[in-house]
Chains A and B, each alone.
Chain A
Amino acid sequence: MDDNFKRAEKLYRAVYPPEVMDMFWKRDGSISSAAFADPNGLSVDRGYYRSDTEVIHDMEARFNGHIISLYVRNCLDAGAIVKYLPSRSNIFHSEIHGSPTNLLLSKSQRRFLAGKAVIVK
C-alpha cells in the first residue's frame, strides 16, 4: 500500500462517540456535516480491495459504533486530499484533509461529503 488511491477505492469512517450512536444522525436519516469536522484531519480506514464485510469485521475489533463509507472520488471531487498514514495498530489508517496546507475540511467540503456518505453499519 502507498499514497496512490484509486478513485473507486472506498474509505470507511467510524462515527464517534460509540456510546451515543445517534449523535450525528438527522431526523431524515442522513448524517450531519458536523461529523466531518476535525482539526486534526478526518481519520478513515482505506478499503484497499477488501469487501465491506471484511472492513467492518476489522474495524469492529477497535470500535463498536456506526461506520460510514465514502469513495476516494468523492473526496477528490470536493477538492480534498486523501493521505495514507498507517499506524502501528492500523495499517489501513488514512486521513482526509481539506487541502495540502489545512487538515480541516471546509464547511463546503464537509457538506458535500456528508451528502455522499453511505451508512454501512
Chain B
Amino acid sequence: MIITKQMDIRSNIKKYFDLAYNGEAVFVSRKQSKNVVIISEEKYNDLNRANRLQAYAGPLISRSSSKPAATLSSDSIREDNLKKLRNIGNLKDNWNGNGASAFPKTIIDRVTDLINKLPIQPEIFPTALNSIQFEYDNSRRDHMEIEISDSDEAEVFIVTYFGEEIEESIPFTYESLAERIVQFYG
C-alpha cells in the first residue's frame, strides 16, 4: 500500500491512478481522518464479489456449523414460511374478494417440499393467479421473484439495482431452482 496526502494526489493524479490500476492500494490521508483509499476497478469488483459470496455463504455456513443462534435464525424463517403456507392452503374461494380460487393441495405440497429443502429461504406470497411467489433480495439490491404454479415450469423475474429486467422460464425442479437462486446470490 502507498500512503500519500491529498495535495500530492492533486499534483500527481495520473501517477497514482496508474499505480492503483496496476494493483496498488493508494491510501490518501486527509484532515480530520476523512481518509480514502484508491483501488482499481478490478480490486473493487473482487471486494464486491467477496461480499456477495459472504451474503450467500452465510446461511449455508450457519447450517453446517454448530452455532445454535445462526441455525435457529435460518430455521425460524423456514418455520415462518411453512406456517404461512398453511395459511395460504386454508384460503377459501374468493379470498381476494375478486374471484380468486382456493389453492389446490398439489401446489401447497410442492411448495412445502421446496421450502423444506432450500438452503436460502425466500419470502413467500400467494397470488390470485393460483400461484405462489418467492421473493429474494440480494446485497447488490437486485430483486428476484419466482412464481410457482402447477406448471412444469417456474417463472423467474429479476429487476437489478440498475433497473434492468430479466424474465425467463426454468424447469420446475429443485436442482434448477436452487441453481438459479445460487446464481442470483453469486
Contacts and interface: CB of A to CB of B under 8 A. Distances in A.
A17 B96 contact: yes
Interface residues of B, number: 26
Contacts of B123: 26-27, 32
Contacts, number: 62
Nearest to B167: A107
B135 A26 contact: yes
Contact of A37 (B84, B127, B159, B167): B127
B87 A32 contact: no
A118 B6 CA distance: 45
Interface in A13-29: 14, 16-17, 20, 23-24, 26-27
B143 A40 contact: no
A70 B98 CA distance: 19
A16 B133 contact: no
Given A33-B145, A107-B167, A40 B125 contact: no
Interface in B120-150: 123, 125-129, 133, 135, 143, 145, 147
Interface residues of A, number: 22
B17 interface: no
B42 interface: no
B18 interface: no
Shortest Cβ-Cβ A-B pairs, 9 listed: A34-B125, A37-B127, A34-B133, A107-B157, A32-B125, A16-B96, A34-B127, A16-B97, A38-B128
